[in-house]
Structure 1
Amino acid sequence: MIIVDKALRARAQAGRPLRVGMVGAGFMGRGVALQIATAVPGMRLAAIAHRRLEPARQAFVEAGQSDIRHVETAGALQAAMAAGQPAITEDWRLLCAADGIDAILEVTGSIDYAAAVVSAAIENGKHAILMNAELDGTVGPLLKQRADAAGVVYTNVDGDQPGVTMNLYRFVCGIGVRPVLCGNIKGLHDPYRNPTTQEGFARRWGQKAHMVTSFADGTKVSFEQAVIANATGMRVGRRGMFGPTVAAGTPIDEAVKSLPAEAFVNGPGIVDYVVGAAPGPGVFVLGTIEHPAQRHYLNLYKLGEGPLYCFHTPCHLCHFEVPNTIARAVLFGDAAIAPAGAPSVEVIATAKTDLKAGDMLDDLGHYMTYGQCENADVVRRERLLPMAVAPGCRLRRGIAKDQVLRYADVEVPAGRLIDRLRQEQDAVFAGSIAAVA
């Protein structure tokens, strides 16, 4: 990110690096640790919290760090930071409470656990950075409101598709073009994929099978597009989005012609995706502009005659770009992408197979459910079950394959933080969501 690099170099030269606490040390967490250690002057990963110590230690070791200190108290963490020693702990609360840590990066991919981490970070006056579209797409509007009240930044990350899309969206707005569609380029969408079908792919890339299943079955893209919708005020054109499939390698400026323009050229615009287009896995924004002279210029600059103009970013580089998000938040008070207000789009649970009464729903990217986008006013009116709330719920009745689930269909486990946050979010934004209907 231009300007961020100079600001970080200045912090490095002044001997005042940004200090980051990271919760989670999985595949992406290890990548972030490596990136900060090897390519980001002016930033230091001070501590990693993980449920087990060994993955946290491994993340530091793979990043070339040594003299790693295991800490169990706030005092021990402060001493490690003062000595310049990387710290590891099982207790994420130490990171959220520690003086001198500027931002908490949450990269667990969990829901209830992550909700507790982010809530505590905000309560302790720490900027909250999420590599977690699932949490953001479920209670992000409420967490953003809490962060605003605490005077800290709440943001999802650049590098994942939502942050990359938001950069592009802001660019398009900045040149005077009105965005009408924010899109994602997918290589595959099959809602019936499961950890068994995805095991080989996961093993090849060193990832977890349920994680890559959530990419394939549409759950991940649904959360990503919901995050974008909530940041822009866009909606979906229909439940599940249009998601046309085109011939593999079709240039994105051609592929977008398969999207129904009548569904988005007027109004607040929509979020959607295309399967098979190139370059993938990139993102795109469709925009329009009324001024005839500006249309003439855009045609001269090879964007065509309009009325829709396609802007795209050919890649998203995940952990490589995360430090930019941290620096933007800490140094400039700028979120890469965050909810603009009330939820606009939600992700709802849908049966991946026929489900029986008494079944306990499994987790995201597993065997029983997949996620679909739906407009928030519809979700509220029909009492549809959010995808991130579904795991652990027990079915009151049988649900047919591809049928959406409702709160009336399930018994929700007692005592979960995510349910309390959902209830609070529904109450806080009740009037705003109802006004959209």
Structure 2
Amino acid sequence: MNFHSHYAGISEPVETCLVGSGSFGRSYLAQSRRTRLVNARIAVDVTAEAAGEAFAAAGFAPREIALCSTEAEVKAAWNAGKCIAAASLDSVMELPFVLLVEATGSPEAATRHSLAAIDAGRHVALVSKEADSVVGPGLARLARDKGVVVTPVDGDQPSLLIALASWAEVIGLEIIAAGKSSEYDFVLDAATGDVTCNGLTRSLPVLREHWLPGSRSIANNAAERARILGEAFPLRAVPDLCEMTLVANALGFAADAAGFHAPPARVPELADLFAERSEGGLMGGTRRIDVFHHLRLAEEASFAGGVFIVVRCDNDETWEMLAGKGHVVSRSGKTAALYLPRHLLGVEVATSILDAAGLGRSGYGDDYRPRQDLVAVAQRDLAAGTVLKMGGHHHSIENVGAEVRPTTALADDRPAPFYLVADRPLVRAVKAGEAIRLGDVAIPEDSGLLTMRRRQDALFAANDGASV
């Protein structure tokens, strides 16, 4: 597809407002200066100073940036052609932007901001997957009813994987599995046996014995790698499961295992590992979601947190030819891996903005609904009174993991969405291995996230008789 032609009908730049100026937001502001059809002159953060620093980091000169604390200051600065750095979305709502880029990462704030934009007739690019995993389908439905669009964003894995998987199904490929690599590679120093991941190095020379499977089962060899690596590194990350939940809700895929298989793998092994079990792989069926941990040597390229699909090879001659051209085909010749080894964060978000605001299209597609939930699971015994504090770069909760399970409507005796219980206190003890139920936590009735989730349940008429 020629993207110049695709967007040829958009003649004026789309005016946007960014809320949340972290690493994603900053990369968006920087790239927007070079994107002809997108303007990003408005940024909101906890303080106007933080938003101003984001503009400065993106390359805007101090004279171009106005720190604003009132609506009058906002209006004057806008009319003077300056970039607006503000501490409140309310203070900039009268400006003529047509799309909100919500990148706070806060489930409550993202829900509040998205609803404000939708109510005002603005489109929303929902970067905050934390909110999306709880109420994204509901927000998208409300937006559609208002004649606007909520969309995920190119630059993050859910949107990129939805595109890859839907493309594959349009051209007639049967998908066995769809997924992404976890955020950080495991990098082996073959000479020393040291393994480095996300700045942490451990001596694991025994991993060298399992670097190549040889004649062994690729799945069994990956299990041995997981055992070795799991003694030194965490092998599950909540954001991975969160992102894949969005894909499942968009495409109707499901988790093969609630906590994912997440094998440590080299790229040439993907077609074998994510095949069905009858073919020696890990999957118990088709259209499954999962992740893998990318193993590589220092001199090899990273998968860069990219996305992949594993498809069925239904014509031997075709796939033998493609294997000869370098495509990743399984030992059996029955499955192949197709992949996109990138996610460029805010650098590539403009395509999603243009699709939403210029073409009225959402990256979710037309059937985004609550099919799967990311639920919270205690990793050790948790006492009543424990606050499930969300923190860190990955917005995780200490001693709480996550699983992807079929969605049900909220109820006190049912597992609660992970990011709905974040930052809430437990009102009763939860044992290790148990899902945290809605009735286990104290959530204020004025929680916008809770209210929106209940609204979503009603919108989609969730089956009250279902169980998780």
TM-score of the two chains, using structure 1 as the length reference = 0.82
**Structure 1 residues 51-105: Cα deviation after superposition (integer angstroms, max 9, x where no partner):** 111111111112222321233454543443343211111111244x335212100
Aligned equivalent of 1:356: 383
SS at match of 1:263: coil
Structure 2 residue 338 is matched with structure 1 residue 311: yes
1:83 partnered with 2:104: no
Question: Within the alignment, does 1:321 sit opposite 2:348 as a pair?
Answer: yes
What residue number does 2:41 align with? 46
1:231 & 1:401 partners in 2: Cα distance? 31
Q: In terms of mean alpha carbon deviation, does 172-181 or 144-153 score higher?
A: 172-181
**1:108 shift after superposition:** 0.7
- Check whether the contact 2:49–2:85 (CA below 8 A) recurs between aligned residues: no
1:143-182 equivalent positions in 2, closer than 5 A = 143-182=139-178
Match for residue 417 of structure 1 among 448, 456, 462: 448
User: Could you report, residue by residue, the CA deviation over 1:222-258 in whole angstroms, capped at 9, with x for unpaired residues?
Assistant: 1100000000011112321222233x56543344348
Q: Against the structure 1 CA distance between its residues 407 and 393, is the aligned structure 2 distance closer, same or farther, given a 3 Å change threshold? A: same
Match of 2:68 among 49, 61, 71: 71
**2:264 is the counterpart of 1:245:** yes
Q: 2:106 aligns with which of 106, 110, 113?
A: 110
The answer (yes or no) to whether the contact 1:344–1:375 under 8 Å persists in 2 is yes
Cα displacement (A) at 1:390? 1.1
1:288 matches 2:312: yes
What is the deviation of 1:357?
1.6
Cα-to-partner distance string for 1:248-277 (whole Å, 9 max, x where unaligned): 565433443487465223xxx221112235
Counterpart in the other structure of 2:89: 92
Q: Give the 3 Å change call, closer, same or farther, for CA 112–131 of structure 1 in structure 2.
A: same
The CA deviation at 1:183 is 1.1
* 2:338 maps to 1:342: no
How far apart, CA to CA, are the structure 2 residues paired with 1:236 and 1:138? 17
Contact 1:362 1:368 in 2 (8 A): no
Task: Choose from 370, 394, 399 the match for 1:368.
Answer: 399
Letter in 1 for 2:363: A
Amino acid at match of 2:335: L
Higher mean C-alpha displacement, 389-398 vs 55-64: 389-398
Q: Distance in 2 between matches of 1:63 and 1:431?
A: 44
Per the alignment, residue 61 of structure 1 pairs with 56
Structure 2 distance, partners of 1:382, 1:301, is: 51
Contact 2:185 2:295 in 1 (8 A): no
Q: Distance in 2 between matches of 1:8 and 1:83?
A: 30
Tell me how far apart the structure 2 counterparts of residues 135 and 264 of structure 1 sit (CA, whole Å): 29
One-letter amino acid matched to 1:110: S
* 1:426 Cα offset (Å): 1.8
Aligned counterparts of 2:235 and 2:347: Cα–Cα separation in 1: 23
How many percent of aligned residue pairs carry the same amino acid?
Answer: 24
CA 1:361–1:381 in structure 2 vs 1: closer, same or farther (change >3 Å)?
closer
Name the counterpart of 1:391.
422
User: What whole-Å deviation, never above 9, does each CA across 1:289-320 have from its counterpart, x for those lacking one?
Assistant: 65x5xx53343222547543321111211121
Partner SS, residue 419 of structure 1 = helix
> What is the aligned partner in structure 1 of residue 28 from structure 2?
32
Could you tell me whether the CA contact under 8 Å between 2:176 and 2:275 is conserved in 1? no
| Residue 337 of structure 1, CA deviation | 2.9
DSSP-derived class of the 1:411 partner:
coil
Cα distance in 2 for residues equivalent to 1:148 and 1:242: 35
CA distance in 1, matches of 2:453, 2:107: 12
Measure, in 1, the Cα distance between the counterparts of 2:249 and 2:291. Answer: 16
When residues 287 and 384 of structure 1 are mapped into structure 2, their CA distance, relative to the original with a 3 A threshold, is same
Secondary structure, aligned partner of 1:430: coil
- For 2:237, the equivalent position in structure 1 comes to 218
* Aligned mates of 2:21, 2:8 — CA distance in 1: 26
Once the two structures are TM-superposed, the CA of residue 138 in structure 1 deviates from its matched residue by 0.7
- Whichever of the two has the greater Rg, that structure is 2
Long gaps (5+) in structure 1: 191-197, 202-214
Which residue in 1 is equivalent to 2:254? 235
- The 3-state SS of whatever aligns with 2:309 is strand
Q: How far 1:388 moved relative to its partner?
A: 0.7
In structure 1, C-alpha distance between the alignment counterparts of 2:162 and 2:335, rounded to whole Å? 19
Alpha-carbon distance change, 7 to 17 in structure 1, aligned in 2, over 3 angstroms? farther
RMSD, matched Cα: 3.1
| Cα distance in 2 for residues equivalent to 1:85 and 1:218 | 40
